[in-house]
Amino acid sequence: MSFSNDNGAERVRETVDAVYRSDSRRVFATLVRLLGDFDLAEEALHDAFRAALEQWPKQGVPANPRAWLVSAGRFKAIDNLRRSARFVALPEDAAERPDSDDPTERDDAHFEHGAASLTELAERSAVGVVDPAFWDEDAVEDDRLRLIFTCCHPALAPDAQVALTLREVCGLTTEEIARAFLAAPPTLAQRIVRAKAKIRDARIPYQVPAREDLPERVDAVLRVIYLVFNEGYSASLGGSVTRHDLSEEAIRLVRLLIELLPEPEAQGLLALMLLHESRRAARTSPRGELILLDEQDRRLWNRNRIEEGCALVERALSSRRFGPYTLQAAIAAVHAEAADAAETDWAQIVGLYDFLLRAEPSPVVELNRAVAVAMRDGPAAGLVLIDAILARGDLKDYHLAHAARADLCRRLGRASEARAAYQRALGLTRQEPERRFLERRLNALPD
């Protein structure tokens, strides 16, 4: 089927956009497996989508768009490698010739990579055909898991592992990743560039580790998946509270990991994500406004996900080999089991936070515990704890710390302090629904 009119072309463009949103990172992961290079795969990905915009309006949308895109990107990469390989054979003095500043030239390491890869790629090519030799549904489905383990290789620094995976596996922008790290975007960009160079230079394999090596590698992978989910559950910037695509992708990835390695902490992380995700429908109003936990309509919570999450929590806790993710899931389970906000067992939640602080000390965990103490013992008790965190300089640029302080001051009737804290939080917040929520709270303060 082909499209000749403007409406048909527009429908195809919308289809291409939808496929890009849903499948671009899967296509990228498969291209990395086939091409063995991040930069080649990224270039091939964009070439493939450009080809789709040009060809699908004329030829129709293929039955398997993802397979078509992988095939198109692969052949585009082969063409580019052929052009690059021509420069490898040039004499050593070619760089001094007038034509050596051709913009298609690349660095020597890239030329060598192209020359080495070209023969193997070309031998397996069949132009215009989705080659079954590389399009194996099971292999393709696991490509993102392979890519995660590559990005989380122990040869890379832990912060580089997380940043690279968020960028390459999930497609987050550098700014979004920087927000998750509470770091500057240029710093994160350099970290990602260095990590990719390390993978290339050390020839880190694109594969899931052998079973005996999995336990020591899984912690980094869980940390990455957790950060991916966090960005989906509470988007760091933009006009939406959540990013459903990232949350669901994190859940899918951890399910894959559990199939491979059913460790209690992986089960605990899945439980945590399911319990949080069960509240999605209640977290925003029909107009997209943020609704806090104690004001949510719990009838909208997804009971199936709550049941699965609570069962996973019990299983992980009973193993006695659990860690921070399982403890966070247990906290979420206490919230899920309360019929309404008034029935929440805050004493149990504070106790779980005490365990969590011992297992994984961090200012953010300390902040969350302070909020729970405020619910158990009153706002004054929580405010003392939050002020101590901020006085140390911890979380001074974390908007939720100032928002929590503002709320406790508001509840204590300290309007002037609440106003200053809300203003500080607003200055640090980059998500529009959160900004509107804080502005409403600020404007509601008495003069």
Query: Is 370 a residue whose pLDDT tops 70?
Result: yes
Which tokens belong to 267?
Answer: 């089960």
Query: Is 116 a residue whose pLDDT tops 70?
Result: no
Query: Do 62 and 2 form a contact (C-beta atoms < 8 A)?
Result: no
379: helix, strand or coil: helix
Is 333 found in the same domain as 273? Answer: yes
Helices (H) and strands (E) in the chain, counts: 20, 0
Which of 100-109, 210-219, 283-292, 310-319 has the largest mean confidence? Answer: 310-319
Is 235 found in the same domain as 182? Answer: yes
pLDDT in tens, 154-183: 889 888 888 888 888 878 888 878 876 667
* Residue 70 CB-density burial (10 A; 0-12 exposed, 13-18 middle, 19+ buried): buried
Which tokens belong to 313?
Answer: 């929590």
Is 312 found in the same domain as 236? Answer: no
pLDDT of residue 85: 67
d(CA 25, CA 253): 13
Of 136, 165, 184, the one marking the end of a domain is 136
d(CA 24, CA 70): 10
pLDDT of residue 266: 94
Is 358 found in the same domain as 331? Answer: no
Percent composition of the chain: helix, strand, coil (DSSP 3-state, to 5) = 75, 0, 25
Query: Do 239 and 288 form a contact (C-beta atoms < 8 A)?
Result: yes
Query: Is 189 a residue whose pLDDT tops 50?
Result: yes
> pLDDT band for position 3 (50/70/90)?
very low
At position 64, the amino acid (one-letter code) is: N
Q: CB-side exposure of 361: number of CA atoms within 13 Å?
A: 3
Query: Is 236 a residue whose pLDDT tops 90?
Result: no
d(CA 368, CA 353): 8
Query: Do 265 and 222 form a contact (C-beta atoms < 8 A)?
Result: yes
Is 120 found in the same domain as 9? Answer: yes
Looking at 124-213, list the stretches that DSSP marks H as alpha helix, in order from N- to C-terminal side.
137-141, 143-151, 158-168, 174-181, 185-201
CA proximity to 73, closest of 30, 106, 36: 30
Contacts for 408 with CB less than 8 Å, ≥ 6 apart: 374, 379, 380, 382, 383, 386
Q: Average per-residue pLDDT in the chain?
A: 83
142 versus 255: the higher-pLDDT residue is 255
Query: Is 256 a residue whose pLDDT tops 60?
Result: yes
pLDDT in tens, 198-210: 998 888 888 888 8
Is 48 found in the same domain as 79? Answer: yes
Q: What is the mean predicted confidence (pLDDT) over 412-434?
A: 94
Of 342, 361, 393, the one marking the end of a domain is 342
Q: What is the mean predicted confidence (pLDDT) over 114-118?
A: 39
Q: What is the mean predicted confidence (pLDDT) over 406-414?
A: 97
Which tokens belong to 27?
Answer: 């296509």
Write out the residue range of the structural domain in which residue 119 sits. 1-136
pLDDT of residue 113: 40
Is 231 found in the same domain as 156? Answer: yes
DSSP code of residue 284: B
438 versus 145: the higher-pLDDT residue is 438
DSSP code of residue 85: H
Is 256 found in the same domain as 152? Answer: yes
Q: What is the mean predicted confidence (pLDDT) over 347-357?
A: 97
CA angle 67, 68, 70 (to 5 degrees): 65
Q: Is 134 left (phi over 0), alpha (psi -120 to 50) or beta?
A: alpha
pLDDT of residue 137: 54
Query: Is 418 a residue whose pLDDT tops 80?
Result: yes
CA proximity to 162, closest of 225, 217, 119: 225
pLDDT in tens, 305-319: 999 999 999 999 999
Query: Is 97 a residue whose pLDDT tops 50?
Result: no
Q: What is the mean predicted confidence (pLDDT) over 185-194?
A: 90
> pLDDT band for position 86 (50/70/90)?
low
Burial 305-318 (b: 16+ CB within 10 A, else e): bbebbbebbebbbe
Is 276 found in the same domain as 230? Answer: no
248: helix, strand or coil: helix
Q: What is the mean predicted confidence (pLDDT) over 335-344?
A: 95
Is 318 found in the same domain as 377? Answer: no
124: helix, strand or coil: coil
Is 128 found in the same domain as 3? Answer: yes
- What does pTM read for this prediction? 0.72
pLDDT of residue 291: 93
Please report which helix (H) or strand (E) contains residue 352, including its range: helix 346-359
Is 353 found in the same domain as 333? Answer: no
Of 277, 308, 342, the one marking the end of a domain is 342
> pLDDT band for position 53 (50/70/90)?
very high
Domain count, the chain: 4
In this structure, what CATH number is given to the domain that contains residue 406? Answer: 1.25.40.10
Beta partners for residue 290, in sequence order: 284
